[in-house]
Amino acid sequence: MGYLVAINLSSLMGVYGDVDSAIEQAQVIQQDLLREEAYGSNSYNIGEIDGTIEGMISLAPLAIFTAIYRPLFWEIGSPVMVISVLENTILLLFTFYLLLNIGPFSLIRILLSEPFLLYAFVFSVLFAFGVGIAGTNFGALVRYKVPLMPFFLPMIFLIYRISKEKKVNSIKL
């Protein structure tokens, strides 16, 4: 039933009806949005979308980092961006602190033991990938990542809290 619905809906979705045409459309949009004469210089470029799975995977780490933590302080292009830069800098520092404090293996263990945190992590990474790939303008990036933050921020804080509780409980034993 789901397959039949997907087939019928794909014809209604036009250029976004299948993966190949959606990637081609992303390439066209990316090239258009990078034109400084039309959109200004407040943009970023994570690399060219070549339309292959390997190309998309190679852009994924930078796209995810871009969507969650950029703009950075040296990328400030307007007074309004200062607020976003402060938010992103605090988030980046707290994420580094968390990773250094609990370690990657404990992080994976906590994510796998808590279904909500695993969901929040997977949603955040996939959504960040889409936002990072799709956008090229910092103003749009800040708006596009709004749905990501209610999952990513609580996930970071809950992982930190759970790691502290586990350390306290292991000391009591």
Phi, psi of 40 (to 5 degrees): 85, 180
Which stretches of 103-148 are DSSP H helices?
A: 104-113, 115-134, 138-144
When mean pLDDT is compared across 24-28, 71-75, 106-110, 122-126, the lowest value belongs to 24-28
Mean pLDDT of 160-171: 79
158 vs 135 pLDDT, higher one: 158
User: Over the range 132-158, which residues count as b (16 or more CB within 10 Å of their CB) and which as e?
Assistant: bbbbbbbbbbbebbeebeebbeebbee
- For the chain, the structural domain boundaries read 34-172
3-state helix, strand, coil in the chain (%, to 5): 80, 0, 20
Residues 39-72 pLDDT 10s: 556 778 887 777 778 888 899 999 999 999 988 8
Query: Over the chain, what is the mean pLDDT?
Result: 83
Beta carbons within 10 angstroms of residue 45's beta carbon:
11
Residues 95-113 pLDDT 10s: 999 999 998 899 999 999 9
Can you tell me which residue has the tokens 């906590």? 110
Positive or negative, the CA dihedral 130, 134, 136, 137 is: negative
Closest residue by Cα to residue 138 from 75, 59, 74: 75
Residues 70-96 pLDDT 10s: 888 888 888 888 999 999 999 999 999
The pLDDT of residue 3 is 73
- pTM of the entire predicted model: 0.76
